[in-house]
Amino acid sequence: MAMATENKHMDPAGLLPKIFSGEATPQEEQLVHDWLVTDPSHQKEYDDFAKIWDITAGFTEPGTIDVNAEWRKLMTTLTPARKISPRLMHITRIAAAVVLVSALAFYGLLQSGKQVNAPRSSTLAATLPDGTRVTLNAGSRISYKKGFGYSSRNLVLDGEAYFEVRKNEELPFVISAGEARVKVTGTMFNVKAYKKKPEIKVSVSEGSVMLYKTQQPEVQTQLVAGETGTFNNALGVMKKYISLNSNDIAWKTRIIDFKNTPLQEVAEILTNTYHQPINVDDAILHCVITVHFENQELDSILGVLQSTLDLSISTKGKRRIISGKGC
The verdict on 64 binding other proteins (CB under 8 A) reads yes
3-state secondary structure of 75: helix
Q: How far apart are CA 224 and CA 221, in angstroms?
A: 10
Q: Which stretch binds other proteins (CB under 8 A): 10-18, 141-149, 186-194, 255-263?
A: 10-18
Q: Which residues between 94 and 123 bind other proteins (CB under 8 A)?
A: none
The verdict on 26 binding other proteins (CB under 8 A) reads no
Which of residues 59 and 120 has its CB atom nearest to other proteins in the complex? 59
> What's the closest the beta carbon of residue 70 comes to other proteins, in angstroms?
6
Q: How far apart are CA 270 and CA 288, in angstroms?
A: 15
Q: How far apart are CA 86 and CA 91, in angstroms?
A: 10
Which of residues 37 and 74 has its CB atom nearest to other proteins in the complex? 74
For strand 319-323 and strand 278-280, is the pairing parallel, antiparallel, or unpaired?
A: parallel
The one-letter amino acid at 305: L
Q: Which residues between 203 and 222 bind other proteins (CB under 8 A)?
A: 208, 215, 217-218
Which of residues 103 and 224 has its CB atom nearest to other proteins in the complex? 224
CB 141 within 8 A of CB 124: no
For strand 153-164 and strand 173-177, is the pairing parallel, antiparallel, or unpaired?
A: parallel
The verdict on 15 binding other proteins (CB under 8 A) reads yes
The verdict on 283 binding other proteins (CB under 8 A) reads no
Q: Which of 6, 48, 299, 310 binds other proteins (CB under 8 A)?
A: 48
CB 6 within 8 A of CB 38: no
Q: Site mask, other proteins, residues 166-205, x = CB under 8 A?
A: ---x------------------------------------
Look at residues 303, 324, 322 and name the one whose alpha carbon lies nearest to residue 313: 322
Q: Which of 2, 78, 94, 235 binds other proteins (CB under 8 A)?
A: 78
Alpha-helix runs per DSSP H in the chain: 2-9, 16-20, 26-38, 40-55, 67-78, 89-112, 250-253, 263-274, 298-309
The verdict on 61 binding other proteins (CB under 8 A) reads yes
Number of residues binding to other proteins, judged by CB under 8 A: 41
Q: Which of 27, 41, 56, 315 binds other proteins (CB under 8 A)?
A: 56
The verdict on 17 binding other proteins (CB under 8 A) reads yes
Q: How far apart are CA 216 and CA 98, in angstroms?
A: 44
CB 324 within 8 A of CB 281: yes
3-state secondary structure of 217: strand
The verdict on 234 binding other proteins (CB under 8 A) reads no
Q: Which of 55, 97, 104, 105 binds other proteins (CB under 8 A)?
A: 55
Which of residues 12 and 277 has its CB atom nearest to other proteins in the complex? 12
The upper half-sphere exposure of residue 162, i.e. CA atoms within 13 Å in the direction of its Cβ, equals: 19
The verdict on 11 binding other proteins (CB under 8 A) reads yes
- How far is CA 86 from its chain centroid? 46
The verdict on 59 binding other proteins (CB under 8 A) reads yes
CB 175 within 8 A of CB 189: no
Q: Which stretch binds other proteins (CB under 8 A): 68-76, 251-259, 262-270, 289-297?
A: 68-76
Judged by the rule CB under 8 A, the positions of this chain that interact with other proteins are 11, 13-18, 21, 23, 48-49, 51-65, 67, 70-71, 73-74, 77-78, 169, 208, 215, 217-218, 224, 226, 242
